[in-house]
């Protein structure tokens, strides 16, 4: 992942241009292109808007509109860990809204925000394919089912402890 600052900036720019070049001729290139950028960079920097606009011959407003519509695209680098709470129907029915409130309370942040120490980003997600074990959450690449407040509390505590300075 990269944050487009400092010494990495030039190589990041080159990487962005390479991704755009690979995707620009595809039919319906916009979404695959944005996903590829997020896949490589970990987020979608604002500076890609004019680059994509030029490459795909669409307006900047159109690119921005797609970014605004799909909440999966991060506008800033994620924290060292990402906690996603499923907000789709099955998990909502099984009380995931309580987990959302709990996570917001513990972390002091809202969805799409990162704790000030950069440890953890909180995101909504709409079905993790684990509906039979609702409510479900994901921490980085690991999915947890039948989540309850005590377990969530412990998982968040572990993540925070792991990030505490030595
Ligand atoms: S609805 Fe939450 S995992 Fe499917």
List, for residues 68-113, the tens digit of each pLDDT value: 998 889 989 999 999 999 999 999 999 999 999 999 999 999 999 9
Measured distance CA(54)–CA(159) in Å, rounded: 41
Residue 3 has pLDDT above 50, yes or no: no
Residue 11 has pLDDT above 80, yes or no: no
pTM for the predicted model, two decimal places? 0.81
82 dihedral zone (left: phi>0; alpha: psi -120 to 50; beta): beta
Domain boundaries, the chain: 6-69, 81-163
Lowest-confidence pick of 6-10, 22-26, 130-134: 6-10
The rounded Å distance from CA 1 to ligand 1 centre is 27
**Domain 81-163, what architecture?**
3-Layer(aba) Sandwich (3.40)
- Look-up: residue for tokens 């991060």? 74
Pocket lining for ligand 1, CB < 6 angstroms: 86, 88-91, 127-128, 130-131, 134, 136
Residue 4 has pLDDT above 70, yes or no: no
Q: How many CB atoms lie within 10 A of CB 134?
A: 21
The rounded Å distance from CA 164 to ligand 1 centre is 31
List, for residues 24-77, the tens digit of each pLDDT value: 999 999 999 999 999 988 899 998 999 999 999 999 999 999 999 988 899 899
**Angle formed by the axes of helices 48-56 and 30-41, to 10°?**
150
The rounded Å distance from CA 100 to ligand 1 centre is 14
Which pLDDT score is estimated for 131? 97
pLDDT level of residue 153 (50, 70, 90 thresholds): very high
Of 127, 142, 144, which is best to mutate to test ligand 1, by the most ligand atoms within 8 angstroms of its C-beta? 127
Which pLDDT score is estimated for 2? 47
Which ligand 1 atom is the nearest neighbour of the CA of 86? 2
Q: In the chain, helix, strand, coil percent, each to 5?
A: 50, 10, 35
The rounded Å distance from CA 162 to ligand 1 centre is 28
For residue 82, the cross-strand partners are 121
């Amino acid at each position: 992942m990269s944050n487009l600052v400092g010494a990495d900036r030039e190589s990041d720019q080159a990487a962005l241009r390479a991704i755009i070049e690979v995707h620009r001729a595809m039919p319906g290139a916009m979404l695959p292109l944005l996903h590829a950028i997020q896949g490589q960079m970990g987020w979608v920097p604002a500076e890609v808007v004019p680059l994509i606009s030029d490459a795909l011959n669409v307006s900047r407003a159109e690119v921005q509109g797609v970014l605004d519509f799909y909440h999966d695209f991060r506008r800033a680098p994620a924290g060292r860990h990402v906690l996603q709470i499923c907000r789709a129907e099955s998990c909502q029915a099984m009380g995931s809204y309580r987990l959302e409130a709990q996570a917001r309370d513990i972390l002091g942040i809202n969805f799409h925000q990162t704790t000030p120490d950069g440890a953890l980003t909180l995101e909504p997600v709409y079905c993790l394919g684990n509906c039979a074990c609702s409510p479900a959450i994901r921490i980085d690449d690991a999915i947890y089912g039948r989540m309850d407040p005590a377990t969530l509390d412990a998982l968040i505590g572990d993540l925070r402890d792991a990030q505490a300075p030595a």
